[in-house]
Structure 1
Amino acid sequence: MIKEKAQPLLNYISKYISLTESEEAFLLSKITYRKYLKGQFMVQQGDVCKYECFVISGCTKTFYVDEEGQEHIVMFSIEDWWTSDIGSFITQTPADYNVQCLENTELIMFLYDDIEPLYENIPKLERFFRQIIEKALVASQKRIVRSFSLSAKDRYLYFRNQYPKIEQRIPQYMIASYLGITKEFLSKIKSQLILEQ
């Protein structure tokens, strides 16, 4: 049952490393499959993040709420992406971010306490996770540079080109929050782009 549910994860891992049958069996013994409903939180600000999650199906948003109650979205995750508050997960300290499901979502979850045993039993998994975290760090740094150097319109065009599958699945005000602009300004940008076609 768990192997069937985890097949997308196994396919994903196989792009980086190859596992023997016994390694795969050990990995499957250390993961959890879970369904969340639309609107449910996987992590809430202030709680310690216990899981690193791989998205089998669905869509999540990672965001923080400032002191004025304003929501700031930093990331979306869809199929074959990872989601959690990685800082909280690694340090086991209170989360800065909330992770909430925007659709009914299926996840494969790695419990913090199982990560070291996985590395000890399957050393190549450490290399796999290092590569995943390196890619996430590079993407995060590039996003910071784009937020400083690109206009709102160019940031939106980049988002649309980079993540075409996401735009259709989430409300406009969330895309605006992710881009750091108001939804009214995003509407203006989209109207302008239609006129330019």
Structure 2
Amino acid sequence: MAPDAATCLRALSAVAPLDDASAMAPVLAAMRVRALAPGEPWLRVGDPADQECLLVQGLLRSSVGDHQGREVTLCFHQGPAALTPAVARVDAQGRSRIDCQALAPSWVATFPSELLVRCMVQSPAVQRWGDAVLRAELLRRADREWSLAAQSAAERLARFRVEHPGLESRIPQHLVASYLGITAVSLSRLRGQARRQEAR
């Protein structure tokens, strides 16, 4: 059964504090809820992307293709979560820079970006919510950039396990490796080393 408005509101509140739920009424009224099956795309590079997305429940993955045509995982989104705000994932023409697909059965709720902007202007509560979502995204990106530059592959794997508990066993190994910036073979070696250390 598709999530109702109350469920979507709870998801919004779980993403960031919302001290005046009534101020989100226009956003809730405009939401369009969609079910995604595993492997089904939500966004493709080049798609018009003027919508914000709330992942009510499920698991999505954002990715891009690198200059050699290899798929690089940017982020895993586990519901409830706000996906990367449109301002940070579209190009100058308002088209998506990323691919995003479901890795598990998922429910996503979309609503126009410009509507959220209007509500933020009209309501301090929505302004604080939107600012919190954007701040969290900026911190996530900064942390990931630092991790890729400063940490070893083993440290990145340990960090991934802390930030995404249980996810490693739910998704294919090559997706974890892609997120960590290593090959699947290297990830297999790291896992083997970790198992040997635990056995001592």
TM-score, structure 1 as length reference: 0.88
**Shift of the alpha carbon at 1:35?**
1.1
Residue 32 of structure 1 is matched in structure 2 by 32
* Aligned-pair Cα RMSD in Å: 2.2
Residue 55 of structure 1 is matched in structure 2 by 55
Residue 125 of structure 1 is matched in structure 2 by 126
Please list, as runs of the form range in 1=range in 2, the aligned pairs for 1:105-124 lying within 5 A after superposition: 105-124=106-125
Contact 1:85–1:95 (CA under 8 A) maintained in structure 2: no
Q: Which amino acid aligns with 2:57?
A: S
Contact 1:6–1:33 (CA under 8 A) maintained in structure 2: no
Contact 1:43–1:84 (CA under 8 A) maintained in structure 2: no
C-alpha distance 42-51 of structure 1, shift in aligned 2 (>3 A):
same
Q: Deviations over 1:78-120 (max 9, x none)?
A: 1122224632459652222111111121012122232233224
Contact 1:73–1:178 (CA under 8 A) maintained in structure 2: yes
Contact 2:43–2:98 (CA under 8 A) maintained in structure 1: yes
Counterparts of 2:21 and 2:100 in 1: how far apart (Å)?
A: 33
Contact 2:27–2:111 (CA under 8 A) maintained in structure 1: no
Report SS of the residue matched to 1:164. Answer: coil
Residue 163 of structure 1 is matched in structure 2 by 164
Counterparts of 1:83 and 1:101 in 2: how far apart (Å)?
A: 12
Report SS of the residue matched to 1:195. Answer: helix
Residue 70 of structure 2 is matched in structure 1 by 70
Q: Which amino acid aligns with 1:187?
A: S
Residue 43 of structure 1 is matched in structure 2 by 43
C-alpha distance 49-38 of structure 1, shift in aligned 2 (>3 A):
same
Contact 1:50–1:92 (CA under 8 A) maintained in structure 2: no
C-alpha distance 76-32 of structure 1, shift in aligned 2 (>3 A):
same
C-alpha distance 24-134 of structure 1, shift in aligned 2 (>3 A):
closer
Q: Which amino acid aligns with 1:81?
A: A
Counterparts of 2:85 and 2:42 in 1: how far apart (Å)?
A: 10
Matched-pair identity in %? 22
**Shift of the alpha carbon at 1:18?**
1.4
Residue 9 of structure 1 is matched in structure 2 by 11
Listed as ranges, the gaps of 5+ residues in structure 1 are none
C-alpha distance 68-10 of structure 1, shift in aligned 2 (>3 A):
closer
Contact 1:85–1:97 (CA under 8 A) maintained in structure 2: no
Counterparts of 1:85 and 1:26 in 2: how far apart (Å)?
A: 18
C-alpha distance 31-92 of structure 1, shift in aligned 2 (>3 A):
farther
Q: Which amino acid aligns with 2:29?
A: S
State how many pairs are aligned: 195
**Shift of the alpha carbon at 1:51?**
1.8
Q: Which amino acid aligns with 1:19?
A: D
Counterparts of 1:90 and 1:125 in 2: how far apart (Å)?
A: 25
TM-score, structure 2 as length reference: 0.87
C-alpha distance 133-116 of structure 1, shift in aligned 2 (>3 A):
closer
Contact 1:85–1:99 (CA under 8 A) maintained in structure 2: no
Residue 81 of structure 2 is matched in structure 1 by 81
Contact 1:51–1:84 (CA under 8 A) maintained in structure 2: no
